[in-house]
Structure 1
Amino acid sequence: MTFDMIGIAGSALTVHRKWLDAVSDNLANMNNASATSGPAFQARYVEAAEGSDGSGVYVKSTQLGSAAGRIVYQPDHPLADANGNVKYPDIDMAEQMGALIIAQRGYQANAQVVDRARETYTAALEIGRS
């Protein structure tokens, strides 16, 4: 049972780490301008799924946001088109910050589960040695 807890929590740690990576990538690129003729940076969204027989979770897929972006009038920008427009990713900072907090808390909770399971296993070994 202890090893099951470690395996399940370990799989959740991996999913939360990948979620944190995606959110941090989205936040780092949310102000990247591009020419209106090309695609905007596409936000990444991690989709998790339950493993078979309750064996934890895994990343089912990574979805990409819209490449349409949002058009902003910035005639002094080096990438501006003839009308003075550039394209920015359509990423909502508040949504991303909320996801960041949730992913971080999930990661911390699963790390504590791994620590408690390890402590339980160590205590059981100590009892067996006595």
Structure 2
Amino acid sequence: MSLFNVMDIASSGMSAENVRLNTTASNVANANSVSSSYDSTYKARHPVFAAELKSASAAQDGSVGSKVQVLGIVESQKPLQIEYSPGHPMADENGYIYKPNVNIVEEMADMMSASKAYETNVQMTDTTKRLFNSVLRLGQGS
């Protein structure tokens, strides 16, 4: 595996973690929203990742590498929070309001995990850049 592959893998990882951070931020921002119907209530969203493998026959240099691919963003299947609140202005005809299925504690843990993964990919690119510079200095004879 060349150092260029390392940079590709790290950059795809940073892009994927950026998507994860954005969806988590969206979930947190909508956690306290209220709706008057089940269908119009915000549902937590989560990105789906996969490893995108590069086959040995497709690689020009004979190395095999992989990248992180974002397959899409899916809505959580957890049940929504339904609360009886007949005096609420958003209550339906039966007096119920609907709240998102967002768990703030889980979202904060996911945000911290995504942040650490992003930071790890940044450190990997910095280390690779230092290696490139060291190799270039070796070629200069210093």
TM-score by length of 2: 0.83
User: Which whole-Å CA distance do the structure 2 matches of 1:18 and 1:7 have between them?
Assistant: 17
Q: What CA deviation, in whole Å up to 9, does each residue of 1:50-84 have, x standing for no partner?
A: 01223211101211124962111233422112343
User: Which whole-Å CA distance do the structure 2 matches of 1:38 and 1:87 have between them?
Assistant: 9
Shifted more, 44-53 versus 71-80: the winner is 71-80
Give the equivalent residue in structure 1 for 2:108: 97
Bigger-Rg structure (1/2): 2
- Give the structure with the higher percent helix: 1
- Give ranges in structure 2 of 5+ residues lacking alignment: 55-64
Post-superposition offset of 1:92 = 1.2
- Give ranges in structure 1 of 5+ residues lacking alignment: none
TM-score by length of 1: 0.90
Is the counterpart of residue 124 in structure 1 residue 125 in structure 2? no
Equivalences, count: 130
| Matching of residues 10-49 of structure 1 within 5 Å | 10-36=11-37, 38-49=39-50
Give the equivalent residue in structure 1 for 2:4: 3
- Go from structure 1 to structure 2 and tell me whether the alpha carbon gap of 1:76 and 1:25 turns closer, same or farther (over 3 Å shift): same
Structure 1 runs of 4+ with >4 Å offset: none
The letter for the 1-side match of 2:136 is L
| Matching of residues 60-79 of structure 1 within 5 Å | 60-66=71-77, 69-79=80-90
Identical pairs, percent: 28
The letter for the 2-side match of 1:78 is P
